Structure 1
Amino acid sequence: MFHLEFYRTEEGKEPVSDFLDSLDGKMAAKLIGLMEILEEKGTELRMPYSEHLDDGIFELRCKLGSNITRALYFFYSGERVIVTNGFVKKRQKTPPGEIKLAKDRRLLDQTIWKIR
Structure 2
Amino acid sequence: MDKEIQSIIGKDICTGQEGWPLGMPLTRSIGNGLWEVRSSIPNGIARVIFTVKNNEIVLLHGFIKKTQKLPLKELEIAKNRYKSLE
Shared fold (TM-score, shorter chain, > 0.5): yes
How far 1:35 sits from its partner (Å)?
Answer: 1.1
| Equivalent in the alignment of 1:96 | 72
How far 1:64 sits from its partner (Å)?
Answer: 2.2
Count of residues paired in the alignment: 86
| Equivalent in the alignment of 1:54 | 31
Unpaired stretches in structure 2, ≥5 consecutive residues: none
**Match runs of 1:1-116 below 5 Å:** 23-42=1-20, 44-77=21-54, 79-110=55-86
Q: Are the equivalent residues in 2 in contact too, given 1:73–1:81 (CA < 8 A)?
A: yes
Following the alignment from structure 2 to structure 1, what is the Cα–Cα distance between the partners of residues 52 and 4?
A: 27
Of structures 1 and 2, the one scoring higher in RCO (CA 8 A, sep 6+) is 1
Higher helix share: 1
| TM-score scaled by length of structure 2 | 0.90
Following the alignment from structure 2 to structure 1, what is the Cα–Cα distance between the partners of residues 74 and 68?
A: 14
Runs of 4+ in 1 over 4 A off after TM superposition: none
| TM-score scaled by length of structure 1 | 0.68
How far 1:66 sits from its partner (Å)?
Answer: 3.7
How far 1:39 sits from its partner (Å)?
Answer: 1.6
Following the alignment from structure 1 to structure 2, what is the Cα–Cα distance between the partners of residues 100 and 66?
A: 24
Following the alignment from structure 2 to structure 1, what is the Cα–Cα distance between the partners of residues 41 and 67?
A: 16
How far 1:50 sits from its partner (Å)?
Answer: 0.6
How far 1:67 sits from its partner (Å)?
Answer: 2.2
Which of these two proteins has the greater Rg computed from alpha carbons?
1
Higher strand share: 2
Identity between Structure 1 and Structure 2 (%)? 24
